[in-house]
C-alpha cells in the first residue's frame, strides 16, 4: 500500500483560479492542483531550478520534478486543445512567511527579475 502524500509547502496562492479561452465551446476543464501551480510559479515564473523549488516546497527534488512534469502536461492540453483551466485542490500547506502552519521555515524573498 503506498504511503499517503506529504503536504507540499506553498508560499503563494494563485490570484486567479479560473481561465477560459474566448470564443470556444464549453469543454471539460483541466484542473491544475495548487502544488502544480506552485511548481510552475517557482520554476517558470521565478526562474528557480528544481533543487531551489524543492527546498521552497519542502519536498525532494524528484518530487518537484514529477509535479512540474504533470503541470506542464496539463498546461499543454489547455493551450493546444483550448480547454478551460481551473486551479484548486491538492495536498498543500500555505506558508505565511514566518513558519506559519507548522513548516518552521521562512519563505525567501521573491527572485523575479525587475524587467519582466
Residue 108 lies in a domain: no
- CATH, residue 51: 1.10.10
Q: Quote the crossing angle between the two packed helices 61-81 and 50-57, to the nearest 10°.
A: 100
Q: What's the confidence (pLDDT) of residue 29? A: 93
46-73 pLDDT tens trace: 999 999 999 999 999 999 999 999 999 9
For the chain, the DSSP string reads: -PPPPPPEEES---S--EE--TT----PPEEE-HHHHHHHIIIIIS---HHHHHHHHTS-HHHHHHHHHHHHHHHHHHHHHT--EEE--SSEEE--SSSGGGT--PPPPP---TT-
Residue 1 lies in a domain: no
Q: Which residues pair with 30 in a beta bridge?
A: 85
Q: Which range marks the domain in which residue 75 is found?
A: 8-102
12-40 pLDDT tens trace: 789 899 999 888 777 899 999 999 999 99
Residue 109 lies in a domain: no
Domain count, the chain: 1
Contacts with 71 (C-beta within 8 Å, 6 or more apart), sequence order: 32, 36, 37, 39, 40
Residue whose grid cell is 477560459: 20
Amino acid at each position: 500500500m503506498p504511503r499517503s502524500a506529504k503536504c507540499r509547502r506553498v508560499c503563494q496562492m494563485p490570484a486567479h483560479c479560473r481561465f477560459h479561452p474566448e470564443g470556444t465551446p464549453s469543454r471539460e476543464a483541466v484542473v491544475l492542483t495548487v502544488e502544480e501551480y506552485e511548481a510552475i510559479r517557482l520554476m517558470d515564473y521565478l526562474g528557480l531550478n528544481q533543487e531551489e523549488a524543492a527546498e521552497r516546497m519542502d519536498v525532494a527534488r524528484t518530487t518537484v520534478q514529477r509535479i512540474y512534469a504533470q503541470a506542464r502536461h496539463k498546461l499543454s492540453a489547455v493551450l493546444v486543445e483550448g480547454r478551460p483551466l481551473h486551479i484548486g485542490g491538492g495536498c498543500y500547506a500555505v506558508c505565511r512567511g514566518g513558519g506559519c502552519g507548522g513548516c518552521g521555515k521562512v519563505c525567501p524573498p521573491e527572485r523575479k527579475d525587475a524587467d519582466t
